């Protein structure tokens, strides 16, 4: 800085001595143009130093996190009450909208009844197992008796004490008993499978209805929409009578959160060479003329939409438009808790990279001039 100022002053004194003090040369248009041209290039030292060591941007916007408020309701549902006003501060958890909940209450009651029935059915399945076991025991006993009779009549027929038709009848009873036994075993197996069908120790039918009940209770809870965090809604257009649900696409309002506001400033990519997170920043907001706010660089967004090619069948034509590519720098401002900082607020920012510190006073003067000029600019006196 000192060297640049010294060279500039030396040049001005040199021109004054040559053309005006001693008049060694006659000052004319040609010498005037040449002197100006050389002096202009000396001033470029200041311009280059300020641009790279203390980059400056007037394309600054205040960013706040926004949340799209989308009702999670599976059926076309009527909005019955709007519980907040636009541009009014709301705390986290405060109700915002109330929807007609009748169909969802009916569904919860329906699933509660189905759950009670399913739980009762588990007891019936247990009784079915017991009945099947009894039937199996009876079939085993009947078969054993028929087999004893076959053995007894076989001896009697051999001794002439019984007719052959009676032996054939008992053999038929054995065959029938075997079929009955197989059927009883199958019925018992079927009853045991139905009774022991479980997932996580719960009967599968009961678990299925419990899941449906939980879903019904979830949608019932969604009939009241709550504030996701501290903030407010602007441009509130939702009114009672609005129908939401699966026949509506998109949000019914945008929530603007209070937490973690930050500034986003765009810089030409040539001026990002020395910018790093943590460097000190001075901010002038149009909303507060004459004031300078301290801050720091939080991050650099090393991405821009001009570098993105979306998957498609189209062949790119590479006509990107603006040749001056800008990148965004995220800036955190200190001690602004009690200030009104609306989303989208405009301002200017100066970053001090720590290099070329001798030029920093010039940039500090410049950003303060910008802030003071906001008292009268724009010049709309009417």
The pLDDT tens digits of the residues spanning 131-186 come to: 666 766 777 777 676 667 666 666 666 666 566 676 667 667 667 767 776 776 77
Judge if 60 and 70 occupy the same domain: no
**Alpha carbon 191 to chain centroid, angstroms:** 49
**Stated pTM of the model:** 0.69
Indicate whether 158 belongs to any domain: yes
Number of domains present in the structure of the chain: 4
For the ranges 22-31, 201-210, 224-233, 315-324, the maximum mean pLDDT occurs at 224-233
Judge if 373 and 327 occupy the same domain: yes
Indicate whether 145 belongs to any domain: yes
Indicate the pairing of strand 280-285 with strand 293-301. Answer: antiparallel
Helix (H, G, I), strand (E, B) or coil at 2: helix
Binned at pLDDT 50, 70 and 90, residue 322 comes out as low
Q: What is the pLDDT of residues 232-270, one digit of tens each?
A: 998 898 899 888 876 656 788 999 998 888 999 999 888
Using alpha carbons, select from 297, 299, 286 the residue that is nearest to residue 367: 286
Judge if 115 and 16 occupy the same domain: no
Mean pLDDT of the chain, nearest integer: 78
> Strand pairing partners for 87?
none
* Tokens describing residue 132: 């099947």
Judge if 30 and 121 occupy the same domain: no
Q: Which CATH number fits the domain that encloses residue 81?
A: 2.40.50.100
Report the C-alpha gap between 262 and 327 in whole angstroms. Answer: 16
Judge if 339 and 274 occupy the same domain: yes
- Asked whether the beta carbons of 362 and 46 are under 8 A apart, the reply is yes
Helix axes of 360-373 and 29-53: crossing angle, nearest 10 degrees: 90
Judge if 117 and 207 occupy the same domain: yes
Report the C-alpha gap between 105 and 111 in whole angstroms. Answer: 10
Indicate whether 131 belongs to any domain: yes
Indicate whether 47 belongs to any domain: yes
**Alpha carbon 84 to chain centroid, angstroms:** 24
* Domain edge (last residue) among 159, 192, 218: 218
Indicate the pairing of strand 253-257 with strand 231-233. Answer: antiparallel
* Domain edge (last residue) among 51, 75, 90: 51
> Strand pairing partners for 285?
347
Judge if 156 and 119 occupy the same domain: yes
Q: Which CATH number fits the domain that encloses residue 273?
A: 2.40.30.170
What DSSP line would sit under 272-337, residue for residue?
A: GTT--TT-EEEEEETTSTT--EEEEEEEEE---GGG---SSSSPP------SS-EEEEEEEESS-T
Report the C-alpha gap between 349 and 55 in whole angstroms. Answer: 8
Phi/psi at 373 (nearest 5 deg)?
-65, -20
Judge if 176 and 227 occupy the same domain: no
Indicate whether 292 belongs to any domain: yes
- Asked whether the beta carbons of 61 and 261 are under 8 A apart, the reply is no
Indicate whether 358 belongs to any domain: yes
Q: What is the pLDDT of residues 102-141, one digit of tens each?
A: 999 999 999 999 888 877 776 666 666 666 667 667 777 7
Indicate whether 382 belongs to any domain: no
Binned at pLDDT 50, 70 and 90, residue 10 comes out as very low
Domain hosting 14: range is 1-51
**Quick one: which H or E segment has residue 231?**
strand 231-233
- Asked whether the beta carbons of 276 and 298 are under 8 A apart, the reply is no
Judge if 89 and 124 occupy the same domain: no
HSE-CB at 364 with a 13 A cutoff on CA atoms is: 9
Judge if 356 and 298 occupy the same domain: yes
Judge if 88 and 228 occupy the same domain: yes
Indicate whether 312 belongs to any domain: no
- Asked whether the beta carbons of 75 and 103 are under 8 A apart, the reply is yes
Judge if 127 and 208 occupy the same domain: yes
What lies within 8 Å, CB to CB, of 134 at 6+ separation is none
């Amino acid at each position: 800085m000192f060297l640049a100022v010294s060279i500039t002053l030396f040049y001005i004194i040199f021109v004054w001595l040559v053309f005006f003090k001693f008049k060694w040369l006659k000052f004319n248009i040609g010498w005037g143009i040449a002197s100006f041209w050389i002096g202009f290039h000396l001033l470029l030292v200041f311009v280059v130093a300020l641009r790279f060591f203390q980059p400056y941007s007037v394309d600054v916007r205040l960013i706040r996190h926004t949340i799209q408020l989308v009702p999670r309701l599976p059926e076309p549902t009527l909005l019955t009450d709007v519980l907040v006003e636009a541009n009014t501060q709301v705390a986290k958890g405060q109700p915002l909208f109330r929807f007609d909940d009748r169909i969802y209450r009916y569904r919860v009651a329906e699933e509660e009844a189905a759950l009670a029935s399913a739980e009762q059915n588990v007891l019936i399945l247990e009784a079915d197992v017991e009945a099947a076991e009894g039937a199996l025991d009876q079939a085993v006993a009947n078969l054993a008796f028929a087999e004893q009779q076959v053995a007894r009549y076989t001896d009697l027929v051999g001794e002439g004490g019984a007719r052959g038709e009676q032996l054939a009848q008992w053999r038929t009873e054995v065959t029938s008993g075997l079929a009955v036994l197989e059927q009883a075993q199958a019925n018992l197996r079927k009853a045991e499978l139905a009774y022991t069908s479980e997932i996580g120790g719960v009967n599968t039918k009961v678990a299925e209805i419990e899941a449906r009940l939980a879903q019904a209770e979830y949608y019932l809870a969604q009939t009241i929409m709550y504030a996701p965090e501290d903030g407010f809604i602007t441009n509130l257009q939702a009114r009672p009578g609005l129908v939401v649900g699966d026949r509506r696409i998109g949000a019914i309002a945008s929530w603007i959160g209070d937490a973690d506001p930050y500034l986003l400033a765009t810089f030409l990519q040539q001026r990002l060479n020395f910018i790093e997170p943590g460097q000190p920043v001075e901010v002038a907001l149009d909303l507060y003329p004459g004031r300078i706010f301290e801050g720091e660089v939080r991050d650099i967004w090393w991405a821009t939409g001009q570098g993105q090619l979306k998957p498609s069948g189209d062949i790119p034509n590479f006509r990107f438009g603006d040749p001056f590519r800008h990148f965004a720098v995220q800036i955190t401002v200190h001690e602004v808790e009690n200030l009104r900082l609306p989303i989208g607020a405009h301002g200017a920012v100066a970053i001090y990279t720590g290099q070329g510190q001798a030029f920093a006073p010039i940039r500090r003067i410049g950003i303060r001039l910008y802030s003071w000029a906001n008292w009268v600019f724009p010049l709309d006196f009417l």
